[in-house]
Amino acid sequence: MEYSAVVKVFATSQAYDFGCPWQSLSPNGGTGSGVVIDAALLLTSAHVVANATFVQVQKCSSSEKFTAQVEAICHDSDLALLRVESQHFMEGIAPAEIGSLPNHRDRVSVVGFPIGGEDFSITEGVVSRIEVQEYSHSQRHLLAVTVDAAINEGNSGGPVFKGGEVVGLAFQGLRNAQSIGEVVPTPLIRQFLRGKANGRVTHVPGLGIRTQKLENASLRKHLGLNSDQTGLLVTEVAPDNSCEGVLREGDVITAIDEYQIDNNGTIRYKGEFRTEYPVVLGEYLVGEEVSFDLLRNGKQIKLSTKLRKYEMLVPLNQYETAPSYFIFGGFVFQILCRDFLRCWDDWWDRAPKEFLYEYYFGIPSKERKEVVIISRVLAHEINVGYEETYNIAVNKVNGVTVRNLRQLFEVLHNSETIVDIETSIGTHVVLNAKQANNADLEILERYNIHAGCSSDLEDIALQKQRKSA
């Protein structure tokens, strides 16, 4: 079999420091694999080139490295498309064809450049499972193919071949297992490439609902389901998500896009693979419509909704996006997100329990779109006595619920009187706003901080400067 389309990817990346949101972490380098699918275009894993500052690729047939640019990226499904501008890059390369979703027990070959050698490596295995799995790069639960072939560091982004066609990209190994790897399947690859070709955003959409399984017979009877009906109970509908204004609490979803949903929340995907119902979303782009069959107040109805990007109260891993923050009176305010939680070693056990609860169970509401926190206190005369008021969420300012970071910044930055900031445990930070704003210039200089707020909040700061002038 010809593997000329397989390449090695070299990436230098620099992530943001969410513990000190005004600065970046040190640059670091890594390698991965990729596959050429068209003239000068190649697929790889998003985590290989996440936060990349410089990318190069190397063909199997040569030691020469070619500079590449990230053409498109979807962190949800861990996919990236790179472009190589060099006219000589495609010499000797036959682009690979993308095939279809494999079947159970199909034999496949994983090709790539795992660490420990210079030449490409081939490992063979059998498809053992096709179902929804958690993608470690994005924490999204999406369709994945499991193979009993080793996927090691450096393999990520490498193609998985069946009969000469690419049936997926290697992207992660299975935890606590040997020689078990997981593969991004072709339905997600095709969704990503279709979005890029149509100029659409490449996020995998989400429904933004919480559901309850209906495996209990008494619960089904209480909801009015007959013996032939199955489904899931809608318990919450998050604002600013796909199902807002369409689904309601108390609805029973019996089918999604003609797939009947069983009482445990699974469907028979493609008529063969038993897996969780959100697998359907992997074939859709943001802006497209998905349909539901519902039981509402005892009546069967059919509705559809336009899909949106998945919005969470506590954002999952973020890439190529600087953290939002501002400093007021030496207090550092920022948005709670998974990247901030990762500042703790073993964060799932050692991070503040309040933060962990919001991460796992919090859902956005009309009153609160983000969890705003005080992440640290930069010691200064203005904040004496508040030294231990950090790693805590902010509930209210001047008695008004804090909706998001931007709203809080506007209130504090534009105030010239006393402000009262109430935390999630009921403690209060009371400051003279004018004195706090004046002290911030000295605080920034004292702690060598180049900006008192992130770039997405600069317009508010400029408005205040114009008013002052």
The catalytic residue positions are: 47, 78, 156
CA 392/CA 155 separation, integer angstroms: 40
- Cβ atoms of 208 and 243 closer than 8 Å: yes
CA 201/CA 199 separation, integer angstroms: 7
Q: Name the token pair of 3.
A: 């593997």
Please provide residue 397's backbone torsions phi and psi, each rounded to the nearest 5 degrees. -130, 125
Beta-carbon contacts of 272 under 8 Å, excluding residues fewer than 6 positions away, are 103
Tokens 């859709």 correspond to 284
Q: In 107-241, at which residue ranges do the beta strands (DSSP E only) sit? A: 107-112, 121-134, 141-147, 159-162, 165-173, 181-185, 209-213, 232-237
The CA radius of gyration of the chain, in Å to the nearest whole number, is 25
Please provide residue 361's backbone torsions phi and psi, each rounded to the nearest 5 degrees. -120, -10
Please provide residue 283's backbone torsions phi and psi, each rounded to the nearest 5 degrees. -100, 0
Q: Name the token pair of 365.
A: 């509401």
105 by DSSP, 3-state: which?
coil
**Residue 304 to residues 95, 232, 255, 301: CA-CA distances in angstroms?**
39, 17, 11, 10
- Cβ atoms of 186 and 167 closer than 8 Å: yes
β-strand pairing of 28-38 with 392-397: unpaired
Please provide residue 89's backbone torsions phi and psi, each rounded to the nearest 5 degrees. -60, -40
CA 173/CA 152 separation, integer angstroms: 7
Tokens 């290697």 correspond to 170
CA 229/CA 260 separation, integer angstroms: 9
- For residue 71, what is the DSSP state? E
Angle between helix axes 433-446 and 405-414 (nearest 10 degrees) is 110
* CA nearest neighbour of 225 among 239, 212, 207, 208: 212
Tokens 């779109």 correspond to 369
- Which helix (H) or strand (E) segment is 188 a member of? helix 186-197
